[in-house]
Structures are given as structure tokens and as C-alpha cells.
Amino acid sequence: MDSVDDISSTKQRRSTTLVLVVIAVAIVGGFTIGILIGRFATCPDEENAKYKKSVKEADSTITDLLMQSISAENIEVNLKHLTQSPHIAGRDRDFELVAYLKSKFTEYGLDSVKSTPYQVLLSYPDNENPNTVLIVNNTGGETIVFDSTSTESNVSQLEGVIRPFLAYSPSGVVNVEIAARYGALGVIIYSDPADYTWSGDPRYFPETWLLPSSGAQRGSLYTGVGDPLTPGYPSTATSYRYNESSTPTPLPTIPAHAMGYGGAIHFLKLGPGLTPGLSLRMKVTTTNSIRRVDNVIATLKGDVEPDRYVLMGNHRDAWVYGSFDPSGGMAVMMEVARAMGQLVKNSNFSLYALGTPLMYRALYEATKKVPNPSEEEVSQNRPTVYDTWVHSFSWTSAGLDLPL
């Protein structure tokens, strides 16, 4: 009995192996045939050529018209308007600019203009209780030797200017002895004159556009991209949000403050090792909150391949006036939008219709029956819409047959 069992089980194993081999061959064969069908059975080259002919290369006359109509004066006017007052994200002036841009894009004749709201984690300092870093002399009481709030006073006091801060810095009061043993408790970030002035040239703003010693750069400490609470996806009202302590890219955990190099020098002079009798005190009142910000989106719909997009974008919000970043870019983008809108408004249009091939026939016949609404065209001996259509569209250069 044993040996009979052995034989039948060996046979069974063989036939199982055979079945597996057949299946494997069938899969590989099927796959190969599929690839061959995909490669050779569809899209005959003739069809491709016909399609390619209808997709024109960029028309250089359009490029030239566009370039000629860009006006430096318009860019200047745009820049002046955008930089009239500070426009940090999520505050009043930023929303005024949303409305302004929408009205401009509409005036330029773009096809659709809309704004889309998002709810984003933003960060602001407390202007009433500003961020500071102090150097304090503790000998016989407390004398303030240096106060960083004083250094940028002539800019910070201007209407709407937010005081120096670093976005997403946690708030806190830090008493940093330079003898502080393990790890930093707070951070001072300053703009190095090596990066922001010309060596050997002592002139700065308003004489040149270089950063004065009092100039503190606002900026963000977040090392990720976009809204920290919705990384990689839109911050719409209903999006899932991480909390501030669980964001995939962590938010900073120790307070930080920005100051100009004129202020930083007081701190650099102290080290290494703090002069005995002195201490540092940092106060950061920056807080985070979820605020509304809007994107403005204007579209100019293409005639050829309208389902393909060419995107042009620029951010609008600025830490302060933003005359360089971002409004320089915004001013140019507005002018390009104006020039494109104008080009479309002034273009010669011909009839444009999409449909199945059977529809074309009906369409041609219909246009032959519609009297030409343009008296000028009629006087040129083109009595129907069909005549103007045939006349004004360059059928042959588009690689198309005349609609007969």
C-alpha cells in the first residue's frame, strides 16, 4: 500500500508542476502579447501625424506682441500700490489686496477670477508687548545695558509694521546666563553684514538699498513647507489637522528672536563667557493661531489644448512692505496678466467649435446659413459667418482641410 501511495503522490506532484509551468507560460505569453498589441495595434503613425499637424509650434508673432506690450511704467505703478502699507498674511491689508487683485484681473479681461479660502497656522508677535532681548547688569540692582526693542524703532513705529519676530517661535521668558551649561535655551538670529552690505561701503538704506544696522529680518523658523498642521495637502476648513506638538516636521521648541547686526554686536562682544555681573534676558510673546488666507486664481482659457495648464504664481503676503519679496514678482505678474488679457481682447477671432466628425458637417452647413453680423465683412463680399470663418482662419497652416 505504501508504495502505491508513493507513486500516485509523485504523479500528482508532477501534474501540479506541469499546471504551474503552463500557468507561468500563459502569464508571460499574455503579458508579451499585451505589450505587442499596445505597441503596434493602436495609434497608427498616419493618425499621429494628422494629430501633430493640428498642434502648432509656439507662434513667435504672439510672443513678440506680448513682449512689446509689457510696460515698465505699469509695473512701477503696480509695485507702488502693492507696497503702500505692510501686508502680512491673514491681516486686513492682505484681504484688501485680495479684492484689489480680483478687480484688476477682471479688468484685464481674464476668463475667470476667484479667491479660495484656506485656514492656515500663522504666527504673530504681540505688538503691545514686543519681543525683546536684554543685557542686564546685576551689580547693585538691575540696570538694563542693552534693549533690542530700541534698535529698530524708526521702522517698527510706522503704521501697520509688525515688530521684529520669528514665526512659530514658542513664546516664553528665558533667562540665559552665558554660563548656561547644556544646550541653548533661546536663539538670537541676526543678519550678518557680510551677507547684507557691501564690504567697504558704509552706505545703507535710504542712501542705498542695503540693510542698515538696525534692520531686523522677520522670517519663519519652520523648516517644512506650507502649513505645519496640514503638510502636503490643502488647509481647507475641513482638512485633518495635526496638533502643534505632533506635526511631522516639528515646530521649534525654544524661543528665538531676530535683530539687526547693530543689536547683535552687543551680544557678540560679551562672549565667549559672559562678563561677570551681566545676564541676558529674552522675552518672546509670539503666538500661533489658525487664520484665514486666500489664494487669488485667475484663468485665461486656451484655444488649443485647453485642458493643458501653464501656471504662473507668486505669493502676495509680505512680512512688512515686501517691495522686493514678494511684491516685485507680483507687480510683474500683474503686468503679464494685463498684457495677455489685452492680447486676447484685441485678437481676431474666428469660429471655434468641438464635436464628433459627423457634427462638423452639420456645423459647416449651419454657418453657411447664418448671415454675417459684421457689415464690414459683408462689404468685403463675405455674406455669411462661413465666409468669414474660411477667410480668417489659416486652415492650411494649421494642417487642416477647408470645411467644404
Ligand X SMILES: *[C@@H]1O[C@H](CO)[C@@H](O)[C@H](O)[C@H]1NC(C)=O
166 vs 258: CA distance, rounded Å:
6
Q: Closest separation between CB of residue 242 and ligand X, Å?
A: 7
Set of cell numbers at residue 202 = 558704509
Question: By rule CB under 6 A, what count of residues binds ligand X?
Answer: 15
Q: Which of 183, 202, 206, 232 forms a contact with ligand X (CB under 6 A)?
A: 206
Site for ligand X contains 140 (CB under 6 A): yes
Q: Which of 8, 63, 246, 397 forms a contact with ligand X (CB under 6 A)?
A: 246
Q: Please enumerate in sequence order all residues whose Cβ is within 8 A of that of 178, keeping only pairs 6 or more positions apart, or say none.
A: 270, 271, 272, 273, 274, 280
Q: Which of 278, 290, 336, 343 forms a contact with ligand X (CB under 6 A)?
A: 278
Q: Which of 15, 17, 139, 249 forms a contact with ligand X (CB under 6 A)?
A: 139
326 vs 319: CA distance, rounded Å:
9
Please say which residue, 200 or 206, places its beta carbon nearer to ligand X: 206
Please say which residue, 245 or 396, places its beta carbon nearer to ligand X: 245
Q: Closest separation between CB of residue 250 and ligand X, Å?
A: 12
Burial class (CB in 10 A: 0-12, 13-18, 19+), 127: middle
Q: Which of 3, 60, 245, 381 forms a contact with ligand X (CB under 6 A)?
A: 245
Q: Which of 61, 154, 157, 381 forms a contact with ligand X (CB under 6 A)?
A: 154
Q: Which of 69, 84, 85, 137 forms a contact with ligand X (CB under 6 A)?
A: 137
Whole-Å CA distances, 261 to 131, 164, 194, 215: 17, 13, 10, 8
Q: Closest separation between CB of residue 353 and ligand X, Å?
A: 20
Stretch that binds ligand X, among 33-41, 171-179, 271-279, 325-333 (CB under 6 A): 271-279
Residues 336-365 touching ligand X, rule: CB under 6 A, are: 346, 348
Q: Closest separation between CB of residue 196 and ligand X, Å?
A: 15
β 132-137/278-284 pair status:
antiparallel
224 vs 233: CA distance, rounded Å:
13
Contact (CB, 8 A) for 184 and 254: yes
**Phi/psi of residue 117, each to 5°?**
-85, 145
Element (H, E) at 122: strand 112-124
Please say which residue, 76 or 142, places its beta carbon nearer to ligand X: 142
189 vs 192: CA distance, rounded Å:
9
Q: Closest separation between CB of residue 135 and ligand X, Å?
A: 9
Q: Which of 12, 32, 116, 275 forms a contact with ligand X (CB under 6 A)?
A: 275
Stretch that binds ligand X, among 1-9, 273-281, 288-296, 334-342 (CB under 6 A): 273-281
256 vs 36: CA distance, rounded Å:
62
Site for ligand X contains 277 (CB under 6 A): yes
Please say which residue, 145 or 363, places its beta carbon nearer to ligand X: 145
Q: Please enumerate in sequence order all residues whose Cβ is within 8 A of that of 42, keeping only pairs 6 or more positions apart, or say none.
A: none
**Phi/psi of residue 169, each to 5°?**
-65, 135
Site for ligand X contains 273 (CB under 6 A): no
DSSP string, 201-217: ----TTTSSSPPTT---
Site for ligand X contains 289 (CB under 6 A): no
Contact (CB, 8 A) for 170 and 282: no
Please say which residue, 154 or 396, places its beta carbon nearer to ligand X: 154
**Binding positions for ligand X, rule: CB under 6 A:** 137, 139-140, 143, 154, 206, 214, 243, 245-246, 275, 277-278, 346, 348
